[in-house]
Amino acid sequence: MAKSVRFAKFFLNVLLSVVLSFSMVPLAFADEAEGAAASPSVGSEVAPPTDKEASLNKALDDVATLEAGTDYDPGTMLALIDGAAVQADGSLISGLQGGEGISGLGSMEPVATGSWLGGLALVRVDVPDGMTLEEAAALLAADDNVVDFSLGYVCEPEYLSENAEAEVSTNDDINDALDKQWHLGFAEVPGAWSYMQNPDGTRVRGNVTVAVVDSGCDLDHPDLVANLDLENAYDVVTGGPLRGEVFTERGTAEEEFAGDNSPFSHGTHVCGIIGAETNNGIGTAGVSYDAKVLPINVFDPGTKKTPTGAIEAAFDYLFGLINNDINNDINIKVVNLSVGSDQAMPLVAEKLKSALEYYNLTVVASAGNGGTSGEHYPSDYEQCISVINATPDRVREKNSNYGSGTDISAPGFHVWSTVDGGSYGYKCGTSMAAAIVSGVAALLYTMDPDATAQQVRDAIIKGADSLSDPTTAAGMVSATNAMELLLFGVDYTDVETEEWYVVGGYFTYVGRAGLMKGYSGTSLFGPELDMTRAEFATVLYRMANPDSGATTDPSLYEDDRTGFADAVSGEYYTAALNWAKDAGIMTGDSSTNYTTVRPNDSLSRQEAAVMSQRFAGALGADTSVANMSTPDLLDWDDVASWARDAMTWCYHNAVISGWDNRDGTHSALPLKMVDRAQMTKIATVLDLDFAKKTSKPTV
């Protein structure tokens, strides 16, 4: 076999170089050109498809390494051809099959067509009995109607039906189902949800779309329908709108299922893990907290397998949607691939490269259920985040693949989610684990819409918790750690997600806005530590000068001049103190004739109030208290006379509110020092209500 392949490759390379003159047809989808980094703008010409000579070499290499029992579509090749050969009813014009080169092959069947293919059609070509795959590849390479081609490998869903135990329920109350959703706790999803709070009290919900390339979805499921992109749901096999879940083996909703008799609605289960509606009082909650889910079917409902060409076509469809999404209404950010095979997929690899480098998509793939460390695709491609199935015991599930090609582990053992017919059930496999990681990726994009796919990948993988399994170094995904790494650059060990400053959205806001950071070289934020006067000035400076790097770049310290005798030049606060003095926000200590400022001393609530009022005034805001009532605070008389106007103004503008005594009363506590947790609220209110709404000070 090897010798014949080498001879065939040599002969065909010569034939291609002498006889063929390839005209590369620009497609409506992108096959990444080497070295390109940016996504093409809408309407721009994208990179040409893979050179057919390269496709031929890849096909011949694959043929040379085929082993008995390899899971590919026997006697089948996949080809992209001129779409003009496909008639309105989906059938092929018979004359094409009599054309040069392809005439020696058997019948052709359209796999996918549509305007998103840029005038091309993906077809499945039968290889006649007695013809080798090498000979078929040569014919396709020699035909001018053929743009690209590959072997007809097939993938299967990464689901362990023989180990799954399922139960069907209808409209479970969310509280009743919490004990079934162990995967949410193990993946530390609720902690990540804590950060999804706006300072105005509203919840940040999923504003991105996750494409689920799978077996479709129950489009009427009550726990999914609100979050499904029904307009763009697509069936690659039929070349038209998705009609529903193509894997359906179930009885009535009341019937109990177990083992191999469980509902096999694979895509519906994956979609539910990612995007089941949250807090709707039924069933289960998706990891993504209400991201949109775009289901795409690539599976033949009869064989329950998919040719790799269908996966390629699914990516082309997604690329077309993104290219036409001028207003970013769909906002596809994540692609879930809970499918796989042990055979390389070179053309799929090209799509993955385009997905990452042209379209900034995070692609998450299941690692496979073979229980080996061998090769597995598409998950082994570096453009994917490859996910291992982990159990509640924090070890690899015995059937899960592992090895150097894997990146992270996630709960995949008896995961509770939606199934066909409006019901729910357990499933087990790396499919489920991958879906959890896809949901986490969607959470990250929701909170940081400008994040790159590489940043999201790094946050997920670097934020993993250790896994007590010697066979894998891929730790357990932690949605909380990943969120903190993306938003703040570190997963803080001293920040509890249930604390008021996190739940209120203040901690998240100052992190996203770059106003406050943790202590350099540590994983500590110091929420209970006092805020120093220099730190306070630095936060104000960052609000008023968001484009300046003076507090982080020593070369921008305004010539290291210092306006106060005790302020040191070349420090992180130097530019901020100079600015604060020039703007009249910090005037210095009266006891030293205003020559010192005590930059490293803590500041009290009344001192913070004075600086906050002056800051708003420097921005042009109305800081008058003429029409403001005296705050109803128990210890108001303890407020210094020089701070009363400022405390009144801060109270009525919710900058520094009364201290809750937990008995229905509030206190001013003017001499209490401001800690860093309290500063997150002060900074959030000042930035949102004043720095972003008024003019900047001129200094």
Q: Identify the sign of the CA torsion 406, 409, 415, 418.
A: negative
pLDDT at 319 > cutoff 60: yes
Out of 324-328, 393-397, 666-670, 694-698, the most confident range is 666-670
| Mean pLDDT of all residues in 364-383 | 92
Output the CA–CA distances (angstroms, integers) from residue 12 to 48, 131, 345, in the order listed. Answer: 22, 16, 22
Specify the pLDDT at position 534: 94
Stated as kind and residue range, the H or E segment containing 659 is: strand 659-660
Class of domain 174-488: alpha beta
Nearest residue to 402 (alpha-carbon basis) of 441, 431, 440, 430: 430
Encode pLDDT of 158-202 as tens digits: 654 333 333 323 333 333 445 678 899 889 999 899 888 888 878
281-290, 336-345, 462-471, 552-561: which has the minimum mean pLDDT? 552-561
Task: Please tell me which residue, 320 or 8, carries the higher pLDDT value.
Answer: 320
Q: Where are the domains of the chain?
A: 2-157, 174-488, 514-691
Specify the pLDDT at position 145: 72
Specify the pLDDT at position 58: 59
Specify the pLDDT at position 408: 95
Q: For the chain, what is the mean pLDDT? A: 79
Output the CA–CA distances (angstroms, integers) from residue 229 to 241, 292, 339, 442, in the order listed. Answer: 11, 6, 21, 15
pLDDT at 405 > cutoff 50: yes
Q: How far apart are CA 577 and CA 489, in angstroms?
A: 26
Task: Please tell me which residue, 694 or 208, carries the higher pLDDT value.
Answer: 208
pLDDT at 129 > cutoff 90: no
Q: How far apart are CA 579 and CA 558, in angstroms?
A: 9
Q: Identify the sign of the CA torsion 245, 251, 254, 256.
A: negative
Output the CA–CA distances (angstroms, integers) from residue 566 to 401, 562, 608, 663, in the order listed. Answer: 62, 9, 20, 43
Residues 6+ apart with CB under 8 A from 480: 188, 189, 191, 192, 194, 463, 491, 497
Looking up tokens 């002056």 gives 614
Specify the pLDDT at position 155: 60
Specify the pLDDT at position 21: 20
Looking up tokens 């969120």 gives 483
| Mean pLDDT of all residues in 571-579 | 90
- Strands 362-366 and 384-390 turn out to be parallel
- Quickly state the pLDDT bin for 101 (edges 50, 70, 90): low
The secondary structure of 241-305 as a DSSP string is: E--S-S------TTS---GGGS---HHHHHHHHHHPPSSSSSS---TTSS-EEEEEE-S-TTT--
Encode pLDDT of 477-492 as tens digits: 999 999 999 988 888 8
Specify the pLDDT at position 151: 61
pLDDT at 533 > cutoff 90: yes
Encode pLDDT of 427-458 as tens digits: 888 999 999 999 999 999 999 999 999 999 99
Beta bridge partners of 410: 389
Task: Please tell me which residue, 92 or 527, carries the higher pLDDT value.
Answer: 527
Percent of the chain residues topping a pLDDT of 90: 43
| Mean pLDDT of all residues in 25-50 | 26
pLDDT at 609 > cutoff 80: yes
- Quickly state the pLDDT bin for 536 (edges 50, 70, 90): very high
DSSP state of 690: I
pLDDT at 537 > cutoff 90: yes
* Its pTM surpasses 0.85: no
pLDDT at 540 > cutoff 90: yes
Both tokens of residue 196?
């999804």
Output the CA–CA distances (angstroms, integers) from residue 575 to 534, 539, 609, 617, in the order listed. Answer: 10, 12, 22, 20
30-39, 297-306, 556-565: which has the minimum mean pLDDT? 30-39
What is the residue type of 312? Answer: E
| Mean pLDDT of all residues in 78-99 | 62
Specify the pLDDT at position 526: 94
